[in-house]
């Protein structure tokens, strides 16, 4: 039996994804793990827009339009590639951050909580036999794109998680030695 530690230690990001993506109760449970993220002040800043099926082409067009807003010189080839990628991923989870800039809990702590939630999603996907990768890019900072997903300023995007079933063995990265990252 695979132990929880084995799951955590064997996760790797991948964008080589095919159908199926999780659905129904399994998807709800994966999102439920995100809502266990540490959350100073119980502000619940995590928001998820699940994009699949026909909505993927709408997402793809919004992403291309956003790319042209933030980087108008982007070559047509790159735009086409991005459109294709967004339109064909089995599922994309748009990561929203519901932020309260005037709250006594600092903004960075609210954003970190969203990051922790995203990490739980990646681990839960892997635990359930799915795969994913968290991607961002300058469009993540585009307030127009954020508003199109319901995150009007001061709310923001934290990027996107591509979701599906790994189409190839997970990349075998060499991971750093923990001893180099801790002081005892």
Ligand X SMILES: Cc1cc2nc3c(=O)[nH]c(=O)nc-3n(C[C@H](O)[C@H](O)[C@H](O)COP(=O)(O)O)c2cc1C
User: Cβ 137 to ligand X, closest distance in Å?
Assistant: 5
Residues that bind ligand X (CB under 6 A): 12-13, 133-137, 159, 173
Q: 132 pairs with which residues across the strands?
A: 163
Q: Say if CB 157 and CB 95 are below 8 A apart.
A: yes
- Residue closer to ligand X by CB (options 26, 140) is 140
d(Cα 162, Cα 158) in Å, to the nearest integer? Answer: 13
- Residue closer to ligand X by CB (options 85, 98) is 85
User: Cβ 15 to ligand X, closest distance in Å?
Assistant: 7
- Residue closer to ligand X by CB (options 53, 181) is 181
User: Cβ 157 to ligand X, closest distance in Å?
Assistant: 10
Which own/partner pairs from 68-74 qualify as long-range (CB within 8 Å, at least 24 positions apart)?
Answer: 69/142, 69/144, 69/145, 70/138, 70/139, 70/141, 70/142, 71/138
């Amino acid at each position: 039996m695979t132990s929880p530690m084995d799951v955590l230690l064997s996760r790797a990001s991948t964008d080589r994804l095919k159908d199926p993506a999780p659905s129904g109760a399994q998807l709800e449970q994966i999102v439920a793990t995100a809502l266990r993220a540490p959350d100073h002040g119980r502000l619940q800043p995590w928001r998820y827009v699940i994009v699949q099926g026909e909505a993927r082409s709408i997402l793809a067009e919004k992403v291309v339009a956003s790319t042209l807003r933030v980087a108008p010189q982007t070559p047509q080839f790159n735009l086409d590639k991005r459109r294709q990628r967004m339109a064909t991923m089995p599922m994309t989870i748009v990561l929203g951050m519901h932020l309260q800039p005037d709250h006594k809990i600092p903004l960075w702590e609210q954003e970190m909580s969203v990051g922790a939630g995203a990490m739980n999603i990646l681990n839960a996907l892997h635990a359930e036999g799915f795969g994913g990768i968290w991607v961002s890019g300058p469009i993540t900072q585009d307030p127009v794109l954020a508003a199109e997903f319901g995150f009007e300023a001061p709310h923001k995007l934290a990027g996107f998680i591509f979701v599906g079933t790994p189409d190839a063995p997970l990349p075998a990265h060499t991971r750093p030695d923990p001893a180099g990252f801790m002081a005892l």
